[in-house]
């Protein structure tokens, strides 16, 4: 039996045009209840059991709002998907508790598997969830683990058919000789039931672990990316995928005969929100490539390369590791990109690829701790980032259950904490500060006291309102702005 391919993420892999119609509107008019850095955030809800000992399977691994923000989905390491629905009263403006969500549906999306051909265990952990735009009464979402992508249909049923001719009410077949007349089955009201059923299974197309899925703006196709390849799928076709990127980056074949010579892998990929032919992908070397599928079928040549020259003063043994991009996202208007590396968030203008137009330091105080972070593997954590609905604010996570907010207009930033101490209804979150040296003030926390086991990797921002979801281990905290 041939040896399985080694996962190419982790320590050794690192070393080895148009904006849409609202893109020109004033930013402050694109979202309700928002004034960026002046926002005060209040506790709304927490989902999940608050306990010290957390089962590995209960740890949240992804968070995603649907297109209108009425549904919020989470995936966990146990392969489960939990969907929350916004409280009906919360949809009305000015109603207290507008940010509250209730459990809508829970289902097992993926099970642990074993690849007998490669002698490889496949975890059930949900890596990503992406919603399709709603086109009928049902909802559709894509979920993926390391190898298999599934399309799920989530629908409601509040009626059941009764009065069959060939079956009785218990579902048992009737004796044909006892049927003396034909009757028309009728629908009877029943208690509302939410059903999740798999409609498509997309498998056997990725050799390495899937790190991204992204639905195209045409709502008919989507891409999936692993460490070396990006595939383009049609949602109605499961038995074939079109390889967008074969052997990955540029015209260089980055899959060498000896895998120890590998120097760069794909870390994230996303479609443009309005241009169905444009997508971007990021790499472990800190570069972002924008591709146009109209230019050629196999996009081994990028249309634009976004890359920032390294600052010689910050060059160190860890430079390449911390420059690896863990997440990339288009702004809602399609004009900008945000990328998250280990220490910072950068904003890129699609019209300028030479350098980012904005750089925000997330936890620069950790630069002096990189050696210990390397030893405990925290330096390889994959933090995500999120845009606000008006593209004015940016959110991303940090350690000690801290998460960071950046206002692009006022240039203000704030550090907040997702914890059980801030769980009073409508309680305003108090900004936190980290002291990296010198005398520590009363309300500050020393960088040496940070808990690196508590980390905010996954966050989501409501597409049109100032409501955010923050995943902290097995808990989902929901906060809303104070009006």
Question: What is the SS3 string spanning 162-230?
Answer: ECCCCECCCCCECCHHHCCCCCCCEEEEEEEEEEEEEEEEECCCCCCCCCEEEECCCCCEEEEECCCCE
Query: Considering the domain boundaries, does residue 12 fall inside one?
Result: no
Domain contains 412: yes
Q: Which pLDDT value is given to residue 191?
A: 83
Contact assessment for residue 407 and residue 393, using Cβ atoms and an 8 Å cutoff = yes
Asked if residue 381 belongs to a domain, the reply is yes
In the block, which residue shows the tokens 């490539």? 289
d(CA 81, CA 308): 38
Q: Output the pLDDT for position 242.
A: 54
Domain ranges, residue 242? 36-481
Residue 10 inside a domain? The answer is no
Residue 291, Ramachandran bin (φ over 0: left; ψ between -120 and 50: alpha; else beta): beta
Q: What is the pLDDT of residue 15?
A: 27
pLDDT digits (tens, 9 = 90+) for 323-347: 999 999 999 999 999 999 999 999 9
The answer to whether residue 463 is domain-embedded is yes
Count CB-CB contacts under 10 A for residue 119: 11
CATH code (residue 436): 2.130.10.10
Which pTM was predicted?
0.84
What pLDDT is attached to residue 12?
Answer: 33
Residue 18 lies in a domain: no
Torsion on CA atoms 374, 380, 381, 387, rounded to nearest 10: 120
What single-letter DSSP state applies at residue 338?
E
Rounded CA-CA distance 205/349 in Å is 33
Q: What pLDDT is attached to residue 183?
A: 79
11 is a domain residue: no
Tokens of 261: 């010579």
Evaluate whether residue 178 is within a structural domain. Answer: yes
Between vectors from CA 110 to CA 10 and to CA 157, what angle results, nearest 5°? 145
Reported as half-sphere exposure (CB side, CA atoms, 13 A), residue 446 has a value of: 6
- Measured CA to CA, the distance from residue 449 to residue 150 in angstroms comes to 41
b/e sequence 456-474, b meaning 16+ C-beta within 10 Å:
bbbbbbbbbbbbbbbbbbb
**Residue 99: DSSP 8-state:** T
| Domain total in the chain | 1
Question: Distance between CA atoms of 1 and 117, rounded to whole angstroms?
Answer: 7
Show the CA angle centred on residue 468, arms to residues 357 and 270, nearest 5°. Answer: 50
Dump the DSSP string for 354-414.
Answer: SS-SEEEES-GGGGGGHHHHHHTTGGG----EEE-TTSSEEEEE-BTTEEEEEETTT--EE
Torsion of CA 116, 110, 54, 43, to 10 degrees: 150
- What are the residues whose beta carbons fall under 8 Å from the beta carbon of 440, sequence distance 6 or more? 446
How many angstroms separate the CA atoms of 182 and 179, rounded?
8
- Residues of the chain below pLDDT 70: 1-37, 89-97, 238-257, 483
């Amino acid at each position: 039996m041939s040896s399985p391919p080694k996962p190419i993420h982790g320590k050794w892999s690192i070393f080895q045009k148009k904006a849409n119609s609202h893109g020109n509107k004033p930013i402050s008019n694109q979202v309700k209840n928002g004034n960026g850095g002046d926002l005060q955030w209040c506790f709304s809800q927490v989902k999940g059991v608050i306990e010290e000992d957390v089962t590995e399977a209960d740890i949240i691994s992804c968070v995603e709002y649907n297109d209108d923000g009425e549904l919020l989905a989470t995936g966990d390491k146990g392969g489960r998907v939990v969907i929350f629905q916004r409280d009906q009263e919360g949809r009305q403006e000015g109603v207290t508790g507008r940010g509250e969500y209730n459990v809508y549906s829970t289902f097992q999306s993926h099970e642990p598997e074993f690849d007998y051909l490669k002698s490889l265990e496949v975890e059930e952990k949900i890596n990503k969830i992406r919603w399709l735009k709603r086109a009928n009464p049902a909802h559709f979402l894509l979920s993926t683990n390391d190898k298999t992508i599934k399309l799920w249909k989530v629908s409601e049923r509040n009626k059941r058919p009764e009065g069959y001719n060939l079956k009785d009410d218990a579902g048992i077949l009737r004796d044909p000789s006892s049927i003396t007349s034909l009757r028309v089955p009728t629908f009877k009201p029943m208690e509302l039931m939410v059903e999740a059923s798999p409609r498509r299974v997309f498998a056997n197309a990725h050799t390495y672990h899937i790190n991204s899925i992204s639905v195209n703006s045409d709502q008919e196709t989507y891409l999936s990316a692993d460490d070396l390849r990006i595939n383009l799928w049609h949602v109605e076709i499961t038995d074939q995928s079109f390889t967008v990127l074969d052997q990955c980056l540029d015209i260089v074949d980055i899959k060498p005969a000896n895998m120890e010579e590998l120097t760069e892998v794909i870390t994230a990929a996303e479609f443009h929100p309005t241009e169905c032919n444009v997508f971007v992908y990021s790499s472990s070397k800190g570069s972002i490539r924008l591709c146009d599928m109209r230019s050629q079928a196999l996009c081994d040549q990028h249309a634009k390369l976004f890359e920032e020259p390294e600052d010689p003063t910050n060059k160190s043994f860890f430079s390449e590791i911390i420059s690896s991009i863990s997440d990339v996202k288009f702004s809602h208007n399609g004009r900008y990109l945000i990328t998250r590396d280990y220490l910072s968030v950068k904003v890129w203008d699609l019209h300028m690829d030479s350098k980012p137009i904005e750089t925000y330091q997330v936890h620069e105080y950790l630069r002096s701790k990189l050696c210990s972070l390397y030893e405990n593997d925290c330096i390889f954590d994959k933090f995500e980032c999120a845009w606000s609905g008006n593209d004015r604010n940016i959110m991303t996570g940090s350690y000690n259950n801290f998460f960071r907010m950046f206002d692009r207009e006022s240039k203000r930033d704030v550090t907040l904490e997702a914890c059980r101490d801030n769980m009073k209804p409508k309680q305003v979150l108090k900004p936190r500060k980290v002291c990296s040296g010198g005398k520590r003030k009363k309300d500050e926390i020393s960088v040496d006291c940070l808990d690196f086991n508590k980390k905010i990797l996954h966050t989501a921002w409501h597409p049109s309102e100032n409501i955010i979801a923050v995943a902290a281990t097995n808990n989902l905290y929901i906060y809303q702005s104070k009006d």
